[in-house]
């Protein structure tokens, strides 16, 4: 089964062709990062406009790279949410137009489920599994009983982990996007600032990162007022140590509680080198799978993979009336 998948939930315009939920026939990602870097963060209106400008070209390149006849495409899949509504609608309209013009069935895919299935491109999923999904907009612990049978165990009550990375990095004057920059400097410093470990209580599956972020910002402001210098590398190492202590402890505890066979680490923050190193060391008695860097951040290949399993279980829409959703829960999956 060949699926043409479209992703445009934030600032990446991406189209991929995926065969049988595994083989990536083509994969094009056009990042708008340089444009948004000027503003220090994604500007939703600019993101949607750029999706409009580039979408057709990205479609054409993906079809050309796959070297495939359109008649051999069996299904069209598109990210339906969660994400920036204007950005989502550009992808949904492009995918719907393509599906309608070529009379292909279409399905809407949850972006977060896409992030989880990114791990199955290069690895085999084993159930039940636990997923730690960490991105710019999300921090979730999920129990995956079987394909497309996902239960939310815990989420962030305020900032997402990637969002906290980006904000702390910005206050430290690091270039956008802050996460990767902070990760690099963290490796050069030491955990000497003694920051809080929010919600470390193991019985609690939820997260909270805004207090930690504020603690860093306060320390920096106080130091500025006293004309003291901030040791940037040490601050990065301290912030990262605090975040990772919480993420790892909660993941370990949830894996034990739910007696899972595998742990999946997914989302943009799964690209974090410190997290990758520590999770293998500190949760060594579990099979842990992580997508390669290319598939960690937003991309259409993961949507094409998730769509394959979703289609097996729930089929496709009967019409061409898909909507976008800025928020979308996992539980709504069956009801579509
Ligand atoms: O999944 P993603 O591409 O977009 C969302 O769906 O949010 O994740 C982007 C987020 C950004 O906050 C970025 O700073 C963060 O992932 N990120 C990292 C690293 N690489 C990307 N955070 C920490 N360390 C990294 N190496
Ligand atoms: Zn994402």
Tens-place pLDDT, residues 290-308: 999 889 999 999 999 999 9
Mean pLDDT for the stretch of residues 11-23: 97
Token pair for residue 311? 């289609």
Mutating to test ligand 1, I would choose from 9, 83, 179 the residue with most ligand atoms within 8 A of its C-beta, which is: 179
Residues near ion ligand 2 (Cβ under 5 Å): 135, 298
Q: Where are the domains of the chain?
A: 2-116+296-314, 124-290
Q: Return the pLDDT at 318.
A: 80
The yes/no answer on whether domain 2-116+296-314 falls in CATH 3.30.70.260 is no
**Contact criterion met (CB below 8 Å) for 77 and 304:** yes
Q: Return the pLDDT at 176.
A: 85
Is 124's pLDDT higher than 60? yes
Is 330's pLDDT higher than 80? no
Please give the C-alpha separations between residue 205 and each of 153, 209, 249, 263, 286, in angstroms, as whole numbers: 6, 13, 10, 15, 19
Mean pLDDT for the stretch of residues 195-208: 86
CA distance 30 to 290: 23
CATH of domain 124-290: 3.30.420.40
Ligand 1: nearest atom to the Cα of 136: 7
State pTM to two decimals.
Answer: 0.93
Is 201's pLDDT higher than 90? no
CA distance 280 to 170: 29
**Going by DSSP bridges, is the β-strand pair 12-19/23-31 parallel, antiparallel, or unpaired?**
antiparallel
CA distance 198 to 50: 38
pLDDT tens digits, 76-93: 999 999 999 999 999 999
Ligand 1: nearest atom to the Cα of 138: 7
pLDDT category at 137 given cuts 50, 70, 90 is confident
**Contact criterion met (CB below 8 Å) for 91 and 298:** no
Q: Which of 46-50, 217-221, 272-276, 331-335 has the lowest mean pLDDT?
A: 331-335
Closest CA to 107 of 82, 79, 135: 79
- CA–centroid distance, 290 to ligand 1, in Å, is 14
């Amino acid at each position: 089964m060949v699926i043409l998948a479209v992703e445009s939930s934030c600032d990446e315009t991406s189209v991929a062709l995926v065969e049988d939920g595994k083989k990536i026939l083509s994969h094009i990602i056009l990042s708008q990062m340089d444009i948004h870097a000027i503003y220090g963060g994604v500007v939703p209106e600019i993101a949607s406009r750029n999706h409009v400008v580039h979408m057709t070209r990205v479609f054409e390149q993906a079809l050309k790279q796959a070297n495939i006849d359109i008649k051999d495409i069996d299904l069209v899949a598109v990210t339906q949410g969660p994400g920036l509504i204007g950005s989502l609608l550009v992808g949904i309209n492009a995918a719907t137009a393509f599906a309608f013009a070529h009379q292909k069935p279409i399905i809407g895919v949850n972006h977060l489920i896409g992030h989880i299935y990114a791990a199955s491109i290069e690895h085999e999923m084993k159930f039940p599994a636990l997923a730690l999904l960490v991105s710019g907009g999300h921090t979730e612990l999920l129990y995956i009983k079987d394909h497309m049978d996902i239960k939310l165990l815990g989420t962030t009550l305020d900032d997402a982990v990637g969002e906290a990375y980006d904000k702390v990095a910005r206050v430290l004057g690091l270039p956008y996007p802050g996460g990767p920059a902070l990760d690099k400097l963290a490796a050069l410093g030491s955990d000497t600032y003694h920051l809080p470990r929010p919600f470390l209580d193991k019985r609690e599956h939820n997260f909270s990162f805004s207090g930690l972020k504020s603690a860093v910002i306060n320390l920096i402001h106080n130091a500025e007022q006293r004309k003291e210098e901030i040791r940037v590398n040490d601050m990065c190492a301290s912030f990262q140590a605090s975040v990772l202590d919480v993420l790892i402890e909660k993941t370990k505890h949830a894996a034990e509680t739910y007696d899972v066979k595998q742990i999946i680490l997914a989302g943009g923050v799964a690209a974090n080198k410190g997290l990758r190193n520590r999770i293998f060391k500190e949760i060594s008695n579990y099979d842990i799978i992580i997508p390669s860097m290319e598939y960690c951040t937003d991309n259409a290949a993961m949507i094409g993979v998730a769509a394959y399993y979703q289609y097996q279980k729930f089929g496709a829409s009967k019409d061409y009336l898909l909507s976008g959703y800025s928020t979308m829960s996992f539980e709504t999956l069956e009801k579509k």
